[in-house]
């Protein structure tokens, strides 16, 4: 079973509009972390935002926010006011394993976002 599921292989959004990239996860670990990374065509992986499982509030970083719905096990990334430079591949990832002390980092398959002028 997939631990991290990103159901949108590709998305389009008009410049200056907001877009939501979906991510659902599966874990039985009570303490876990959720991440979003951006990978532009140049190939580097850029950290965007982090949400801890015990965090009460949704994480925000500039134009990025994470819509964390724990009961639904979803951690959607919201990008506000899209820019052309946001066109990239976006990966959702999870860190679990705090109870065992051996962490597992699992990445989703990614969503390719294209921002249209």
Partner 1 sequence: DAGVIQSPRHEVTEMGQEVTLRCKPISGHDYLFWYRQTMMRGLELLIYFNNNVPIDDSGMPEDRFSAKMPNASFSTLKIQPSEPRDSAVYFCASSWSVAGNYEQYFGPGTRLTVT
In this structure, are residues 57 and 3 in contact, taking their beta carbons and an 8 Å threshold? no
d(CA 81, CA 79): 7
Q: Where are the beta strands (DSSP E) in the chain?
A: 4-5, 10-14, 19-21, 24-25, 33-39, 46-52, 60-61, 64-69, 74-79, 88-96, 104-107, 111-116
* Interface with partner 1, residue 94, by CB under 8 A: no
Query: Where would I find the H helices in 1-117?
Result: none
* Interface with partner 1, residue 109, by CB under 8 A: yes
- Using CB under 8 A, which of 86, 91, 111, 115 touches partner 1? 91
- Using CB under 8 A, which of 76, 95, 111, 115 touches partner 1? 95
Of 77 and 108, which CB lies nearer to partner 1 in the complex structure?
A: 108
Of 50 and 64, which CB lies nearer to partner 1 in the complex structure?
A: 50
Which residues in the 30-89 window bind partner 1 by CB under 8 A? 33, 35, 37, 43-47, 50, 52
61: which strand partners? 64
Stretch that binds partner 1, among 7-15, 19-27, 76-84, 105-113 (CB under 8 A): 105-113
* Residues at the site binding partner 1, with contacts judged by CB under 8 A: 33, 35, 37, 43-47, 50, 52, 91, 95, 102-110
């Amino acid at each position: 079973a997939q631990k991290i599921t990103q159901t949108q292989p590709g998305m389009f959004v008009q410049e200056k509009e907001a877009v939501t990239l979906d991510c659902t996860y599966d874990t039985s670990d009570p303490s876990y972390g959720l991440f979003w990374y951006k990978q532009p065509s140049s190939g580097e992986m850029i950290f965007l935002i982090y949400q801890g499982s015990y965090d009460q509030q949704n994480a925000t970083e500039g134009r990025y926010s994470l819509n964390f719905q724990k009961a639904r096990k979803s951690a959607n990334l919201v990008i506000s006011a899209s820019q052309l430079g946001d066109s990239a591949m976006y990966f959702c990832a999870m860190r679990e394993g705090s109870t065992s002390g051996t962490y597992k980092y699992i990445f989703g398959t990614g969503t390719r976002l294209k921002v249209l002028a």
